[in-house]
Structure formats: structure tokens, C-alpha cells
């Protein structure tokens, strides 16, 4: 690190696993651009780094206000909220935290699939509400082992989900930008064709403009009244209004959602659907994995300001 503490802007609330280390090495301006714009204008010319989360927004406008900015370090694998093109045009580096959260997100995905298929949260409520004793056995649910799984996005996490689904003897297919010759699973050109051949459709593709509303009414109709949608990617990938309508009208069988269009706000219509599983964006949220993400985020900042190669820069081309 250089001799004077480097000014760093945290654009979102920092993880407690990262904050103390940053504060020990940098002069951290915690969300100053939002909390105190006048003070922010005074320090903006000195800010050389941004710390962000996977869902943070760093716009071209904000980048434009930071003439000394050199690095944006994202604690998250997704960076769809960062205007990478604006950063790169100024030679500003962007890093993220791939790899270290693959297991966690894949584990949660299988948990969500089982929760939706076997209605585990509803079963828990059934016992707590005394219905087991008053009404007898719960209605039957559906089998997951051996069912057809479609995966939208076959990157590192998608492959982790597929490997786990093999243990459930599921029939695995996927769609992605292109077929991956080294993978044994069937490739479909479009999400709609994939959905028509799936009982479970899992969304694990990057967010951003390229994938906005990739899962639309036509895809949900193709998945059908027995189908289950699982989204562990970004809320923007699914047309949430079309999803709610499909669930309300029974055109879609069920859903398990860890991500939403406007987090942390979840539409009431969605919250009122009893058999839909809802979790608050917890894909990577274990102590172990968040520690690894914090370490990698700090490692990128440390490497950059020590003049060493970045550990995990975002790829030049995302797909």
C-alpha cells in the first residue's frame, strides 16, 4: 500500500467481514455520495477506489464524478449494476469474486428445488398450526428424483447445480449462449424449448440488459401447470409480472425465488401465494462463503495498490 491512506468510497453497506479490514488500510467514505452529497463533492477528487456489492449500482454518472478513480472492487460474482463499459473507457479496473460462492449458490438451489417440490416450508407450517392433529395427513406433493431439470445459464454455478442434480438422477438439459462440447447434458437453443422439456427450470445466468426478461410469459407457459421455476440469478432475468400472473392463474405449477425485480421489496401478490418459496437473496449468505468473498475483495484491492496483478478481474467479454 502507498504511504497516505487511499480514499475509498463504499457504495453500499459494507459486509462486517470486510469493513474492519478496509478501515484499517483505507480512508473509507461510507455511502457518502448518498448520505452527504456536499461532503462527497469535497472528497470526490481524491477517491481512488470503490468497494461495491453484487447488487450495487455504479453508474457512468458516478464514475464521471470521480476523476482519480482507478479500481472498482465488487464483493459478489455478479456485477450487472456496474457500468463496466464506462469504467473500462477510463482505464478503471473492475474486480469481482467468482469461484468462491459456486458451492453455496448450487447448494441453495437444490434446497429450493426440494422445498418447492416437497413443500417443506408449508409442511413445517402444517405441523406448527396444529393441522396434522386436526386435519390428518398433508396433501401429497411431487417427486424430484428422476425429474427433468432445465438450467438457464451453464457457467460455473450452473455446472455445480447440474453435478448435484446428477445425484438425484435428474434428466439434465440446459441453454446458454452456445453448447458446451465438454458437457454431457442436452443443449437447447432457447429458454422456451428448454422449458417445454423440463419439470424444473433453474435460472442461473448473469443479470443485465442481455438477459432482461429472458424468462417471459411464453417460457412460463412452456414450463406449464406442473412446472416449477427456480430463480437464483437476478430478479431482472424473469418478467416478475408475467410470473405472478402465471402462478395466480395456475398456468405455472410453482416457484422458488431467491431474487426479485426490486429488492428488498417483494410484491404482495407474490407473498400471498402460499406454495411459492421466497428467500431474501441468500445464495451466498453463509459465514464461510461471505468470509471467502470478503477476503477476495480485499485481496484485489491490496494487490492493485501494491502494483501486483489483480486476482480476479471481470472478464473482458462476459459470455
Known catalytic residues? 234, 263, 281
Distance of alpha carbon 238 from alpha carbon 216, whole angstroms: 6
Q: Does 261 bind ligand 8YV (CB under 6 A)?
A: no
Q: Which is nearer to ligand 8YV, 11 or 270 (CB)?
A: 11
Site for ligand 8YV in 282-311 (CB under 6 A): 283-284
Q: Does 53 bind ligand 8YV (CB under 6 A)?
A: yes
Q: Does 31 bind ligand 8YV (CB under 6 A)?
A: no
Q: Does 22 bind ligand 8YV (CB under 6 A)?
A: no
At closest approach, how far in Å is the CB of 121 from ligand 8YV? Answer: 21
Q: Does 54 bind ligand 8YV (CB under 6 A)?
A: yes
Site for ligand 8YV in 100-159 (CB under 6 A): 101
Q: Does 21 bind ligand 8YV (CB under 6 A)?
A: no
Q: Does 75 bind ligand 8YV (CB under 6 A)?
A: yes
Name the one range near ligand 8YV by CB under 6 A: 48-56, 125-133, 218-226, 247-255.
Answer: 48-56
Q: Which is nearer to ligand 8YV, 54 or 254 (CB)?
A: 54
Q: Does 281 bind ligand 8YV (CB under 6 A)?
A: yes
Q: Does 236 bind ligand 8YV (CB under 6 A)?
A: no
At closest approach, how far in Å is the CB of 290 from ligand 8YV? Answer: 7
Binding region for ligand 8YV (CB under 6 A):
53-55, 75-78, 101, 281, 283-284
Amino acid at each position: 500500500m502507498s504511504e497516505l491512506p487511499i480514499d475509498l468510497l463504499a457504495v453500499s453497506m459494507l459486509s462486517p467481514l470486510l469493513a474492519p479490514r478496509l478501515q484499517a488500510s483505507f480512508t473509507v467514505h461510507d455511502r457518502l455520495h448518498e448520505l452527504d452529497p456536499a461532503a462527497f463533492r469535497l472528497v470526490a477528487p481524491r477517491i481512488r477506489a470503490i468497494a461495491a456489492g453484487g447488487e450495487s449500482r455504479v453508474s457512468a454518472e458516478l464514475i464521471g464524478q470521480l476523476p482519480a478513480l482507478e479500481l472498482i472492487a465488487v464483493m459478489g460474482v455478479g456485477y450487472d449494476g456496474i457500468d463496466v463499459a464506462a469504467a473500462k473507457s477510463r482505464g478503471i479496473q473492475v474486480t469481482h469474486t467468482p469461484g468462491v460462492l459456486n458451492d453455496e449458490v448450487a447448494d441453495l438451489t437444490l434446497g429450493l428445488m426440494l422445498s418447492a417440490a416437497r413443500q417443506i416450508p408449508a409442511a413445517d407450517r402444517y405441523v406448527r398450526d396444529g393441522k396434522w392433529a386436526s386435519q390428518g395427513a398433508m396433501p401429497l406433493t411431487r417427486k424430484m428424483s428422476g425429474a427433468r431439470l432445465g438450467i438457464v445459464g451453464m457457467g460455473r454455478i450452473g455446472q455445480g447445480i447440474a453435478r448435484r442434480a446428477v445425484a438425484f438422477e435428474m434428466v439434465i438439459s440446459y441453454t446458454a449462449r452456445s453448447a458446451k462440447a465438454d458437457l454431457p447434458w442436452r443443449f437447447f437453443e432457447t429458454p422456451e424449448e428448454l422449458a417445454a422439456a423440463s419439470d424444473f427450470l433453474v435460472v442461473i445466468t448473469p443479470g443485465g440488459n442481455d438477459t432482461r426478461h429472458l424468462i417471459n410469459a411464453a417460457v412460463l407457459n412452456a414450463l406449464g401447470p406442473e412446472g416449477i421455476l427456480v430463480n437464483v440469478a437476478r430478479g431482472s432475468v424473469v418478467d416478475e409480472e408475467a410470473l405472478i400472473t402465471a402462478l395466480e392463474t395456475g398456468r405455472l405449477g410453482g416457484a422458488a425465488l431467491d431474487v426479485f425485480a426490486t429488492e428488498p421489496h417483494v410484491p404482495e401478490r407474490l407473498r400471498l401465494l402460499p406454495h411459492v418459496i421466497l428467500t431474501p437473496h441468500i445464495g451466498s449468505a453463509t459465514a464461510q462463503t461471505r468470509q471467502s468473498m470478503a477476503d477476495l475483495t480485499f485481496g484485489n484491492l491490496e494487490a492493485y495498490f501494491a502494483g501486483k496483478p489483480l486476482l480476479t478481474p471481470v472478464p473482458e467479454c462476459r459470455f
